[in-house]
Chain A
């Protein structure tokens, strides 16, 4: 069955540094990959989508890369701020003509002032 792995340990960084989060997957060929932010007790908030034929996407301080050979996506937040502290979820979709999103367990990011 499909498996998605995100850093299980929390990522603790200093304000102003770049945070890099990893999403690895197996047994699946997604048509696209999405990153969401989730705060405690809240719903996932969409951040970025990258398709299988795209290598990199940027939006303001966010950058996503997608390597379908390595089956990996990297999510970067540059010039991180304490307000970026949250759990970041990787979600795969579009494989096997399916509409559903398959989520990773998320990586908790803590940005220290």
Chain B
């Protein structure tokens, strides 16, 4: 059964450094998303992406964040200058239409 995959599974970085989190959505899906979950808290929406552009973003998704679909298979989330509070689990998700979203296993980001 097709799955969303994410790399790396864990990332440790120093505050102020740039990180890129990578995702390969399910191949026939058209909508792509990033969510994050701070330890012990709810899953929070960051951004949705459709037709090669951002369709919606949350207040969390400020100028330090960007997304890209550089080719036909990858979807990336970049954090330009990481902060301590960016430490979280980041989930990529994809969907065929706008309803059921399928999530990847996540990247655990730790900012020191």
Interface residues of A (CB under 8 A from B): 32, 34, 36, 41-46, 49, 89, 91, 93-94, 98-106
The segment from B12-20, B41-49, B66-74, B78-86 found at the interface with A is B41-49
Check A99–B43 contact: CB distance below 8 A: no
Check A103–B98 contact: CB distance below 8 A: no
Closest CB of chain B to A24's CB: distance in Å?
Answer: 15
Check A100–B103 contact: CB distance below 8 A: no
8 contacts between A and B (CB under 8 A): A36-B103, A42-B105, A43-B104, A46-B102, A100-B48, A101-B35, A101-B45, A103-B43
Contacts of B75 in A (CB 8 A): none
Contacts of B91 in A (CB 8 A): 43-44
Contacts of B106 in A (CB 8 A): 41-43
Number of interface residues of B (CB under 8 A): 26
Closest CB of chain A to B70's CB: distance in Å?
Answer: 22
Check A103–B44 contact: CB distance below 8 A: yes
Residues 31-76 of B contacting A (Cβ, < 8 Å):
31, 33, 35, 41-45, 48, 50, 55-56, 58
Partner of A99, one of B4, B42, B98: B98
Check B100–A100 contact: CB distance below 8 A: no
Contacts of A98 in B (CB 8 A): 56
Check A100–B42 contact: CB distance below 8 A: no
B7 in the interface, Cβ–Cβ < 8 Å? no
Check B103–A45 contact: CB distance below 8 A: yes
Closest CB of chain B to A7's CB: distance in Å?
Answer: 14
Closest CB of chain A to B76's CB: distance in Å?
Answer: 17
Chain A residue at minimum C-beta to C-beta distance from B108: A41
**A2–B106 CA distance with the chains assembled, in angstroms:** 25
Highest count of chain B CB atoms <10 Å: which of A99, A103, A105, A106: A99
Check B100–A46 contact: CB distance below 8 A: yes
**A1–B83 CA distance with the chains assembled, in angstroms:** 26
Contacts of A49 in B (CB 8 A): 99-100
Chain A residue at minimum C-beta to C-beta distance from B55: A99
**A106–B40 CA distance with the chains assembled, in angstroms:** 10
